[in-house]
Structure 1
Amino acid sequence: MHLPAQAERLRIFIGEADRHDGRLLSEVIVEEARKTGLAGATVLRGIMGYGANSRVHTSKILRLSEDMPLVIEVVDIPEKIETFLRTLDELVTEGLVTREPVEVMFYRHSGG
């Protein structure tokens, strides 16, 4: 797959414990991104954060949280991002989704 130099990045901010139909929402989002044919998706686990409800989630020993913040990043062409946003609208009931232009420097794989 080839990505043009000008693409877009989606950032999806959710909680680690968020679910969709009993499954982890992060897994559902990554699987849907793959089914849609997006170039890739990465799930990043935060060590601290808060969202719209202002409840702080932290990995500090004394306040161990089981609902750490997650960020899922997806980069692809604007048309594919636009299509995937419709899927996200159905999946994400709490969280934040952002979209921004990015410049792709490399997109490589080993071919194996």
Structure 2
Amino acid sequence: MNASENSLLKIYASTTDRIGFDLLYEHVVVAAKRQKIAGITVYRGIMGFGPSSKHIEQSRFWELTEKLPVVIEMIDKTELLENFYQFIKEDLEKVPKGCLVTMHPIDIKLQKSGILKNETK
């Protein structure tokens, strides 16, 4: 596959960021599914900070609620990801604490689909 036709879109934010009443990362995942993005993964960091952080945030086992870094990552055709970004851009711009969005061209070496649970051989 050609590197220029596929990209990796990443959104860096916080686990506590919200869009309306929804958590930002949940909002993005649901929107990506509706827009038929090939796949998306959300990673929660154990430590980090950003421009709006007053101090370094880190995971502590004794805390019930944690404000931690989160990375939302999706891979698909560059055109589809660009369209998806334009679709959610206004929502992301409303996040009070801010976020960072990057897109990088990638070279997919293998894309193999698995068998769905309700499919038979």
Residue equivalent to 1:47: 46
Rg bigger for which structure? 2
Whole-angstrom distance in 1 between the partners of 2:26 and 2:67: 15
Cα distance per residue 1:32-63 (max 9 Å; x no partner): 11111111000000011111124321114578
Q: Which residue in the other structure is 2:119 paired with?
A: none
Hey, what's the Cα distance between the residues in 1 that align with 2:103 and 2:13? Answer: 15
Aligned-residue RMSD, C-alpha? 1.8
Quickly say closer, same or farther: Cα 1:65–1:106, change in 2 above 3 A.
Answer: same
Bigger shift: 60-69 or 46-55? 60-69
The C-alpha deviation readout for 1:55-96, integer Å capped at 9, x for no partner, is 321114578861110000011111101101112312222110
Matches within 5 A, 1:29-108: 29-55=28-54, 56-61=56-61, 66-92=66-92, 93=95, 94-108=98-112
Deviates more, 1:64-73 or 1:7-16: 64-73
Structure 1: gaps (5+ residues): none
| Runs ≥4 residues deviating over 4 A | 61-65
Unaligned runs of 5+ in 2: 117-121
TM-score (norm 2): 0.81
